[in-house]
Amino acid sequence: MIGLLKKIDNGLATVLEWMLVALFAVFFSLVCILVVLRYGFGDTIYGGNEFVTIAFLFTSAIGAAVGITRREHIAIMVFVDMLTEGPKRIAFCMQLALVALINGAMVYYSLNWIKLTGKTPWQPFDWPQGFVQGAVPLGCGLAVLFCVIKIVLTLAKEESVELLWVPED
């Protein structure tokens, strides 16, 4: 069971990272093209700026979730580092539980928000706004999933509670 959970955690994170790379490459390229068109030729691509905005929203939301599983999120460990392994493991799980709770609330409230405003057409593509707003519950839902997986792995002592990166003096 734990081995499967580790595979799901790493596999999903890897797939999401590749999706992020592809999406970032698309929106970076589009930004460069838009700048050249605007300042070089006084022209633009219809909906280009809006597409860049959507891509940025999704890369930010998904990237934040991946940051949790890769332990690349912000953490202030001054007091936690003073603890022995057992209490440190509990503190790490409590941190993840709080992050999951906040993200779970964001999923709940964003779904209500999308229910209220999601059918309104979003210009210039005339897509429902719910598509764009979907970045919030998607990213936050993935964050909750990764937090739960990390809590289980940490309690099973399959996840280290030590910092992955320690700055040199």
- Residue 27: predicted pLDDT: 87
**Given CA atoms 135, 16, 65, 166 in this order, what sign does their dihedral have?**
negative
Specify the range with the lowest mean pLDDT, choosing from 22-26, 92-96, 109-113, 158-162.
158-162
Answer yes or no: are the C-beta atoms of 66 and 74 closer than 8 Å: no
Q: Is residue 97 part of a domain?
A: yes
- Residue 165: predicted pLDDT: 47
Kindly tell me the number of DSSP H helices and DSSP E strands found in the chain: 5, 2
- Judging by beta carbons within 10 Å of its beta carbon (0-12, 13-18, 19+), is residue 90 exposed, middle or buried? middle
- Please give the tally of structural domains in the chain: 1
Around Cβ 122, how many Cβ atoms within 10 Å?
Answer: 17
- Residue 83: predicted pLDDT: 81
List the domain range (segments joined by +) for residue 142. Answer: 2-155
DSSP, collapsed to helix, strand or coil, labels residue 168 as coil
* β-strand partners of 127: 122
pLDDT digits (tens, 9 = 90+) for 66-125: 999 888 877 777 777 788 888 888 988 999 999 999 999 999 999 999 998 888 888 888
Q: Is residue 67 part of a domain?
A: yes
Q: Is residue 66 part of a domain?
A: yes
Q: Is residue 111 part of a domain?
A: yes
Q: Please, which pLDDT band fits residue 159 given cuts at 50, 70 and 90?
A: confident
Q: Please, which pLDDT band fits residue 163 given cuts at 50, 70 and 90?
A: low
Tokens of residue 100, six digits: 């999951």
Q: Is residue 94 part of a domain?
A: yes
Q: Is residue 41 part of a domain?
A: yes
For all residues of the chain together, what is the average pLDDT? 88
Give rounded-to-5 percent helix, strand, coil for the chain.
75, 0, 25
The CA distance from 156 to 169, in Å, is 33
Which one-letter DSSP state was computed for residue 53? H
Q: Is residue 79 part of a domain?
A: yes
φ, ψ of residue 127 to 5 degrees: the values are -80, 155
Q: Is residue 163 part of a domain?
A: no
